[in-house]
């Protein structure tokens, strides 16, 4: 059996400076597991990074040694090889004087019918530019086109965590970035006043006022990871409500952390990475003298969260 590595996104939510971390519910599996782990490494992302620590850690684990912002996530996640592709994601873009950010994707609450109606409006314009669209789910459409080769994009996870400069958010790179930036502006005009958005605003929901491009690029082959990678995104999708985050934490404790403890008990090497908005901490099963130290000086979750 391969080693197991659990990577948890948004172990702490984005918080304004001076705001304390929200409390956690009882997490018996995680607290017990931490008594057998020691720190193995840290990762920090620069202020205007185009990716989140969670995404950077996953890229490393999959052996995707692309520059930040150029990891072909759409190709990897859809097992597409040899064709430039990208995710196009409906979103609510919030513009400031010299910065912008994406509203929490969890708050968009876009259903299939609304997403399909929005896609039906923009699909002909995409087709004119040679972009083929495959509907995957309401918040992610797979786009294929040579336009997506050589692009650098900011991920929607990163863009929704805090305001970034417009330069940091813009599509760039050696590909047809200028063409795609122009097309994004055209898509925004098509979405303005769309019946779907009129209905959303009447219901108090934020309008879908932009289409985000992320995860662009090409894969020659699908990489094979030597470790069993468990990618946990539910906290990133939970929204800010404390009760909802508590429920998600408890679910992760039972269906993600408990199997990790079982693997450790069976003698397998396990790793756990906790990711925040700017940094990540990786822990691994202790061996030798470190195992004894872990027992007498166990790691504490609250202390780890303060370092994210």
- Residue 302, pLDDT above cutoff 60: yes
Domain range summary for the chain, segments of one domain joined by +: 69-217
- pLDDT for 175 equals 67
Structure tokens at 284: 């691994």
Taking the CA atoms of 281, 286, 290 and 295 in sequence, report the sign of the dihedral they define: positive
Residue 237 is classified by DSSP as G
How far apart, in Å, are the Cα atoms of 263 and each of 88, 231, 283, 284?
37, 16, 15, 12
Integer Cα distance of 36 and 303 in angstroms:
16
Residues 6+ apart with CB under 8 A from 104: 160, 239, 240
Give the model's confidence band at 296: pLDDT under 50 very low, under 70 low, under 90 confident, else very high: low
Backbone angles phi, psi at 270, to 5 degrees: -125, 155
Pairing of strands 99-102, 132-137: unpaired
| pLDDT band, very low/low/confident/very high, at 105 (cuts 50, 70, 90) | confident
- Counting Cα atoms < 13 Å in the Cβ hemisphere of 184 gives 22
Whether the per-residue pLDDT at 215 is higher than 50: the answer is: yes
Given a cut of 90, is residue 74 above it in pLDDT? yes
Q: How far apart are CA 81 and CA 220, in angstroms?
A: 5
- In this prediction the pTM is 0.92
User: Does the pLDDT value for residue 289 go beyond 50?
Assistant: no
| Whether pLDDT at 40 is above 80 | yes
d(CA 305, CA 181) in angstroms, rounded, equals 37
């Amino acid at each position: 059996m391969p080693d197991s590595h659990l990577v948890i996104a948004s172990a702490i939510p984005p918080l304004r400076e001076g705001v304390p971390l929200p409390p956690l519910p009882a997490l018996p599996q995680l607290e017990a597991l931490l008594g057998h782990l020691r720190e193995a490494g840290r990762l920090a992302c620069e202020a205007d990074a185009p990716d989140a620590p969670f995404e950077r850690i996953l890229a490393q684990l999959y052996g995707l040694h692309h520059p930040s912002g150029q990891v072909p996530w759409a190709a990897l996640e859809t097992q597409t090889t040899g064709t430039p592709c990208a995710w196009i994601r409906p979103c609510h873009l919030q513009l400031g004087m010299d910065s912008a950010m994406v509203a929490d994707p969890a708050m968009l609450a876009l259903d299939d019918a609304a997403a399909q109606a929005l896609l039906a409006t923009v699909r002909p314009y995409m087709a004119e530019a040679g972009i083929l669209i495959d509907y995957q789910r309401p918040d992610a459409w797979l786009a294929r086109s040579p336009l997506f080769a050589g692009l650098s994009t900011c991920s929607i996870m990163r863009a929704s965590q805090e305001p970034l400069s417009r330069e940091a958010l813009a599509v760039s790179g050696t590909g047809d970035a200028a063409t795609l930036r122009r097309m994004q502006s055209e898509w925004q005009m098509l979405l303005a006043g769309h019946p779907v958005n009129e209905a959303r605003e009447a219901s108090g929901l934020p309008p879908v006022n932009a289409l985000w491009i992320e995860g662009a690029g090409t894969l020659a082959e699908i990489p094979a990871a030597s470790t069993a990678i468990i990618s946990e995104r539910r906290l990133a999708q939970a929204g800010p409500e404390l009760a909802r985050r508590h429920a998600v934490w408890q679910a992760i404790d039972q269906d993600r952390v408990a199997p990790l403890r079982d693997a450790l008990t069976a003698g397998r090497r396990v790793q756990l990475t906790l990711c925040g908005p700017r940094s990540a901490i990786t822990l691994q099963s202790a061996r030798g003298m470190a195992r004894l130290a872990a027992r007498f000086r166990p790691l504490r979750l609250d202390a780890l969260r303060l370092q994210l």
